[in-house]
Amino acid sequence: MTVASGSGGSLRERAEAAGTSFILALFVDLAGKPCAKLVPVSAVDALATEGVGFAGYAVGAIGQQPSDPDLMAIPDPASFTPIPFIKDGLALVHCDPHVDGVPWPFAPRVILRALLARAAAQGLSLNVGAEVEYFLVTRDAGGRPQPADPADVAARPCYDARGLTRMFDHLAAVSTGMNALGWGNYANDHEDGNGQFEQNFEYADALTTADRVISARYLISMLAEQRGMTATFMPKPFADRTGNGLHLHMSLWRDGVAGFPGPDDGPADPRGLGLSALAYSFVAGVLEHASALQAVAAPTVNSYKRTNATSTSSGASWSPKVPTYGGNDRTHYVRVPDDQRVELRGGDGSANPYLAIAGALAAGLDGIGRGLDPGDPGKAGERPPLPRTLLHAVEAFERDDVLTGALNAAGPGVAEYFADLKREEFFAWHGAVGEWEIERYLTAF
């Protein structure tokens, strides 16, 4: 069954073609929380023209006070996504929040649009493929998460055909849903942590992929709940296992022509990666701004337990500690699997995909604008290691005009608001007395 509306058209036409009865008008706050109102298809014309109103302060981190006027979520019909495999007749549509008739600069989708417009002004467009990793868990008697599959205890669980098969019903439901939507799911695997999985879909333009990451998290969560499990995208739910990455495969295009492969008729790339000068400058920009970029690609306290993991029970963390780039080698911050794209491996499952992509694009465009070169593969050079904590990342972010400029791309004050939120998040965690402190200090003195 194909439920994708495919051919385009107005929101009403798409909803009617898909047999939709209800539409989730959806957007996320800066933290990536999916917020929606459920709109019956009888009200689709008003939804399409006026949008649907929200009390912005109640949404979460989106720059509004209780006294502010309504945030109006205006749907983007191209993002219409029928999801009858969640509930019969249900669809979702991604929205651009507006206030007083103008796009709201604190809305992540509005921010990414502004960065894409900046690239377009230079004749460039961005394609992105995202790898969504997650754990399927239940809670034990003490409320701690544990792998939902009690047999998933192997020391080296990655790619285990048996662990994969035991989760077949869930994985197949997600895969079938993705393919019905035309996302092109091409692989599903058991990842390197017990209880951890990844389900891949094809790359698309940056905005579509960011929307799909949000949709995928929602769909995977709902389908897991239907089977009595919780899907978590938390960066590091288990200290001794690999974390949840959100690897972003990025490529710039000019007039529909891939901009990253080196010229066929030019001199061979002496570094052997087959990349163009444009690609090297993009990579150099990403590396130069890596510390600040991590504040949006790895935006939680928990993120820094993934990127700074010293070891895991499987022997590798597969997540970077230093901002290096290299060929087909998964230990780098930026991997170059082939000459078509570069893979940013610093981001994790808590990343807001709109902001992570906007930040990476801003960093890459800065590298291009300044004609930067990343130096030889495999070497960090003068670049500092990645931030050790969220607080370090926030401080690097505040010092970085390119990354703060990215968050302020649609209007001022967003970067400062974001940095304040994230600093407070760090101190809220720091202010709690945890198990580690009790173990270490209770009888130490």
Which residues are at the interface with Mg ion (CB under 5 A)? 198
3-state helix, strand, coil in the chain (%, to 5): 35, 20, 40
Q: Which does 152 bind (CB under 5 to 8 A by kind): Mg ion, ligand GLU, none?
A: none
* Sole binder of ligand GLU in the list 20, 242, 312, 324 (CB under 6 A): 242
Q: Scan residues 11-30 and list those touching ligand GLU (CB under 6 A).
A: none
Which residues neighbour 395 within 8 Å (Cβ) at sequence distance 6 or greater?
Answer: none
Residue 151: other Cβ atoms inside 10 A: 10
CA angle 339, 123, 328 (to 5 degrees): 15
CB nearest ligand GLU: which residue?
245
Q: Site for ligand GLU (CB under 6 A): which residue of 243, 285, 353, 375? A: 243
Q: Where are the beta strands (DSSP E) in 69-184?
A: 71-75, 81-82, 90-99, 102-103, 124-139, 145-147
H or E element that contains 115: helix 108-121
Binding ligand GLU by CB under 6 A: which of 319, 324, 350, 408? 319
Nearer to Mg ion, 198 or 425 (CB): 198
As a whole number of angstroms, the distance between CA 223 and CA 213 comes to: 15
Closest to ligand GLU by CB, 125 vs 389, is: 389
By C-beta, is 92 or 298 nearer to Mg ion? Answer: 298
Q: From residue 132 to residue 171, what is the string marking binding to ligand GLU with x (rule CB under 6 A)? A: -x--------------------------------------
3-state secondary structure of 55: coil
Which residues, 6 or more positions from 50, have their beta carbon under 8 angstroms from its beta carbon?
72, 74
Q: Is 330 in the site for ligand GLU (CB under 6 A)?
A: yes
In the complex, the smallest distance separating the C-beta of residue 67 from ligand GLU, rounded to whole angstroms, is 41
Q: Which option in ligand GLU, Mg ion, none does residue 404 bind, with CB closer than 5 to 8 A by kind?
A: none
Residue 306 binding partner per list Mg ion, ligand GLU, none, with a CB distance cut-off of 5 to 8 Å that depends on partner kind: ligand GLU
CB of 294 to Mg ion, least distance (A): 19
Q: What is the C-alpha separation between 49 and 43, in angstroms, rounded?
A: 10
The binding site for ligand GLU (CB under 6 A) comprises 133, 191-192, 242-243, 245, 306, 318-319, 330, 345
